[in-house]
A and B are shown apart, each in its own frame.
Chain A
Amino acid sequence: MSQIATPGSSDGALLRLRSVFKVYDTGETPFTALKGIDLDVHTGEFVGIIGKSGSGKTTLINMITGIDHPTSGEIVIDGTPVHDLGENDLARWRGRTIGVVFQFFQLLPTLTVRENILLPMDFCHMWAPRERVDRAMDLLEQVELADQANKLPAALSGGQQQRAAIARALANDPPILAADEPTGNLDSKTADAVFGLFERLVEHHKTIIMVTHDNDMANRVRRALHVSDGEIIEERVHRPRAGA
């Protein structure tokens, strides 16, 4: 059954964007990077955002994670009007609601893999301190890195670092995971493994929004949004492959 999201029929959407504009102040002529984005995402969806370089993918996902503010428009996630939050509330909200995965992994270099995963829990005061370590180890097992827990990030391969970063994004058990080209710096085999990890998470009812410019990846997500020049120009929906 098709699940085309149409503006207006957004009841129950986990994530809702309405006429989101983003204008960058670049000296003489302001540059409009997002031109009125409308989007609804429901719980458990795996959404891929594809498009050429410079089309506005990063800008769009930064709106969703609250890393950047829209110039105008509304962003409501899980009932919270993100566009209205101040920096501090945003940080706390993000810590609990959205796990962010970066293209360059961005693990803190002086903390071990496990400590990197403990950090979001520490910042957001999630879980009792003694539970945290168990939880971190659970997450590392999920991403098959339990044996690397005490190493510094620099000692890990790119794929391992990205899996650790995903474990970190999951630390506070957020309903949503947002990833900007998470496989962009990985070879295709490791990229595959990371993608497989995302698929498993979706099976466990996480909602994932992933930017990619890899068409192959795009074909494997349930729902793919094609962004061009700051607009969503096309949307494809695939049935689950394994005939679920």
Chain B
Amino acid sequence: MHAVRWKKVFRDLASHRFRTVLVVLSIATGIFAVGVVMGGRAILLREFDSEFAASVPLNADFYTMPFSDPIVRRAREYPGVAEAMGRHSASLRYRWAGADAPRTLSLVAIKDYDDVTVQRIVPETVRSWPPKRGEIVLERAALQVGKYEIGDTLEVETRTGEKKILTVSGFAHDINAVPAQFVGSETGYVSFESLPDIGEAKSYNELLVAMTGTSLTQREASLLAENIKRDVLEENGITVLGVYVPKPGSHFLGDIFKAVSLLLLALGLLSLLLSGFLVVNTVSALMAQQIKQVGIMKAIGGRASQVTWMYLGMVAIYGVLAVLVGVPASAWAGQQFIEFAAGVLNFRVSSYVPPDWVTTLEVGVGLVVPLLAAIVPIRLGTRTSVVKALTQTGVDSAAFGHGLVDRVLGLLRGLPRPVALSLRNTFLRKGRLLLTLTTLSLASAVVMSVFSVQASINQTTDDLEDWWRYEAQVRYERQTDQAGTERIIKGTPGVTEVESWVGTTVTLDRPDGTTAEGLNLIGTPYDTTFIHPTMLAGRWLQVGDEDAVVVNTDARKSEPSLDLGQRVTVEVAGEKRVLRVVGVVKGQFGGSALYMNREALTVLLPESGITQTLIKMSFTDTASQRRALDEIETRLDDANYRVVSTRTTAQFREQIASELGILVAFLVIMAVLLAAVGVIGLTGTMTINVIESTREIGVMRAIGAQHGSIYQIFITEGLAVGFMAWLIGAAAAYPMSYGLVSLLSGAIGLPLSYHFSLTGVGSWLGIIAAISVLASVAPAFRASQVSVRDAIAYE
């Protein structure tokens, strides 16, 4: 390696520091993007999966009337059951100094925190664990919603309307608890001893069961759950209020995870492609610059293969340097990314070390991709005949210079001389231009698509707004007197109109013989003005409908038998009823729902009374709406109506936006990365153009060109490329964003409303113009420093 030709390679690297940095950065950007994205994805899935598996997720969750330890023991011994445990759960309203309105607490009480066998809970920062009497440990996702601190007090309202104090004594993590920011209620853990203090019985009312078998199907899990319900609970006189059987092995955020991981995969592949382009581009430019030296070396006895190896060696060195920069950088950024993801998706990370294959991939991207990308340009350079190499000034310019471009440019006579010259330069380096343009266009397309995805998400929430024609809603613990509650609510200042609905949970008989528990059946007036359903198929409810139901897309997705025209059997309040699906409406992020005429549903229920009240208000600002709703809750409380939750429509919209916001955040990360790749690519191209035009610049300086006009030339060139990339990118963004939105819709299981963001297209034009100018300034500065002497020395 101490042969002279290798000395030349090292000297070239050292003496063209700017170029070396540029090429190394281009490759490192590829490594970085691939490393962050693929590594991030791998760590995300690995950490999430391992924590999820270690948590012993439940396969069936039974909500029941009180029971005690012998039942748990029986459940544990039941064939097919791996673990079973009982706990007490309750949903209570509470006030906290950090929030101006009452919030909902999903309370969990466990007898022995050292023996949690299903859905494990991990204490994180706790003053005492397990929680002592009078204390509560919050699930840490609460911190995403408010600034809870150890020592804060929560004023809990008991079932009998009394106010009791619980003191926050720490934070724990439960990967299976639905994070507070998604449901609008915080999960908290208390000891069994605290239960009587807050008006709850010291008994179990929830049975959690984990089943044996690693590849359990949903059907098997449902069947076993039904048997346990019958043999363990009902046989022993325990009434079961509801059963929840999740898809075995899947987390409730699984869909979001799938979407995020798909996005990351797409981004990873895209960055791989882009970094390949960047390398081809810079290496082609390098060869163009070195072509004369290649000719000289061949003239003094160098064989094409020897010269090829020299340049491959050079690229390999670039690769090694890029790996040294890119791998640690991506490890660092990957950790930031995972920390962010672990926060919003609420999981714990035990190791930030990416799997070996990711590191291998990064090294491959750093070494193999550049070499593969470089082979063609290097071979083209070293195969050029000696005469051509010695007489050539630029790439292909001779063949291209007198062609179409000059003729077209000749027509544009009005252009100022420097502008015409730079346009000509732009088109002359067509090969490089094509690659830079491809890179930048792709980046532009992705960025504009991201704008459109964001716009689509906004559109979706706007469409929700269109569905909801009310400002707030109140839900009651049980069926409640319609006239009484409506009178109180109507009497509250700001309320203009109210409507009462009744809801119940029903069990659906599936065609395969299993049942689906806990579907929401909602009775609404057929002529309601409080919602404006988005019909996807069939029709809405009509007067006189008795057995007709309209289902939403969530219900149809989880229970495919609920499709238009189908007759389905459901068990309502212990009686089997056959219902007819007459319409499908778009889901509202509120889960599965079946709608039927309120009067028809009331007939099927043993008790009379309503379960929720929808409220229209004259207030348009959310603060006043919230205050009015609090006043309503206080008045209902005073009249002894038991409220389980209240929410303003605006508040719910926020919640949904925050859930979808995760996707947007990931998309933004994606866009920023790609834009960075684009900037580096453009800077590289501009620099190489300057180097190649050294002679022209010298001549221009010799005939009196000022710094200003040289800046103008290169910045115009940069802008021309940026503008073309914007144009192509905008055209590509339409199909791309449409695809992306359908992909996301599929992944999260909800139809997003597509909206192409013209604002995004406009903003990107501004941004890319700024980027183009920035990318051209450094090269233009170099150009302005070229002296006439340098230019001539370049021959």
Interface of chain A, main secondary structure? helix
Verify A115–B300 contact, CB threshold 8 A. no
Stretch at the interface among A11-19, A61-69, A71-79, A233-241: A61-69
**A110 and B8 contacting across the interface, CB-CB below 8 Å:** yes
Question: How far apart are B382's CB and chain A's nearest CB, in angstroms?
Answer: 10
Q: Quick one: given A119-B297, A122-B3, A123-B297, are A95 and B302 in contact (CB under 8 Å)?
A: yes
B293 to chain A, nearest CB (A): 6
Q: Contact partner of B306 among A69, A115, A123, A169, CB < 8 A?
A: A123
For A4, the chain B residues whose CB sits under 8 A away are none
Chain B residues with CB under 8 A of A119: 4-5, 8, 297, 300, 302
**In whole angstroms, how far apart are the Cα atoms of A43 and B398 in the complex?**
40
Contact between chains at A94 and B301 (CB < 8 Å): yes
In the complex, A154→B11 CA distance in Å? 14
The stretch from B144-152, B383-391, B447-455 touching chain A is B383-391
Please tell me if B298 contacts chain A, counting CB pairs below 8 Å: yes
Pairwise interchain contact A100-B15, C-beta atoms closer than 8 A: no
Partner of B386, one of A68, A108, A124: A68
Asked whether A96 is an interface residue with its Cβ less than 8 Å from the other chain, the reply is: yes
Closest to B391 in A: A58
Q: Does B793 belong to the interface (CB within 8 Å)? A: yes
Query: Please, which residues of chain B bring their CB within 8 A of the CB of A106?
Result: 292, 296, 299, 390
A67 in contact with B12 given A119-B297, A122-B4, A123-B302 (CB within 8 Å): no
Which of A85-93, A198-206, A211-219, A221-229 is the contact stretch?
Answer: A85-93
Inter-subunit contact B11/A123 (CB<8 Å): no
Residue in A87, A88, A102, A108 whose CB lies within 8 Å of B385: A87
Q: How far in angstroms is the closest Cβ of chain A from B20?
A: 12
| Chain B stretch 277-291: residues in CB contact (< 8 A) with chain A | none
Known contacts: A87-B385, A110-B11, A118-B4. The answer to whether A67 contacts B300 by CB under 8 A is no
B655 to chain A, nearest CB (A): 63
In the complex, chain B residues whose CB is within 8 Å of the CB of A68: 385-387
Given A91-B302, A94-B299, A106-B296, A122 and B5 touching (CB < 8 A)? yes
If A95-B300, A110-B11, A169-B300 touch, whether A87 touches B383 (CB-CB below 8 Å) is yes
Q: Is there an interface contact between B301 and A91, defined as CB atoms closer than 8 Å?
A: yes
Q: Is B17 close to A, CB under 8 A?
A: no
B557 touches A (CB below 8 Å): no
Q: Is the CB of B8 within 8 A of A120?
A: no
Complex interface bits, B1-33 against A, C-beta within 8 A gives 1, otherwise 0: 001110110011001000000000000000000
Smallest Cβ distance from B688 to chain A, in angstroms?
A: 17
Nearest CB on B from A102, distance (A): 8
Write out the residue numbers on chain A whose beta carbons fall within 8 Å of the beta carbon of B303: 88, 91-92, 123
Q: Mark B774-795, 1 if CB is under 8 A from A, else 0.
A: 0000000000000000000101
* Interface hits, B648-673 → A, CB 8 Å: none
Q: Note all chain A residues with C-beta closer than 8 A to B214.
A: none
Q: Closest CB of chain B to A134's CB: distance in Å? A: 15
Chain B residues with CB below 8 A from A88, complex form: 303-305
Q: B301 and A111: CB pair below 8 A?
A: no
Residues on A with beta carbons closer than 8 Å to the beta carbon of B15: 109-110
Q: Is A168 an interface residue (CB 8 A)?
A: yes
Find B795's partner among A104, A129, A169 (CB 8 Å cutoff). A104
CB 8 Å contact bits of B366-395 with A (1 = contact, 0 = none):
000000000000000001011100100000
A residues in contact with B390, CB < 8 Å: 67, 102, 106
Complex-state Cα separation, A100 to B300, whole angstroms: 7
Q: Which of A91, A96, A129, A168 has the most CB of B within 10 A?
A: A91
Q: Which of B293, B385, B386, B387 has the most CB of A within 10 A?
A: B386
A207 at the interface (CB under 8 A from B): no
Nearest to A119 among chain B residues (CB) is B4
For the complex formed, measure the closest distance between the CB of A65 and the CB atoms of chain B, giving whole angstroms: 7
Compute how far the CA of A129 lies from the CA of B2 in the bound complex, rounded to whole angstroms: 10
7 extra interface residue pairs, beta carbon distance < 8 Å, beyond A95-B302, A123-B302: A87-B298, A102-B299, A108-B297, A110-B11, A110-B12, A154-B793, A172-B301
Chain B interface residues toward A at CB < 8 A? 3-5, 7-8, 11-12, 15, 292-293, 296-306, 383, 385-387, 390, 793, 795
Give 29 A-B contacts (CB < 8 Å), ordered by A residue: A65-B299, A67-B387, A68-B387, A87-B304, A88-B303, A88-B304, A91-B298, A94-B300, A95-B300, A95-B301, A99-B300, A102-B390, A106-B296, A108-B8, A108-B293, A109-B15, A110-B11, A111-B7, A115-B4, A115-B7, A119-B4, A119-B8, A119-B302, A120-B301, A122-B3, A123-B300, A123-B306, A124-B301, A154-B793
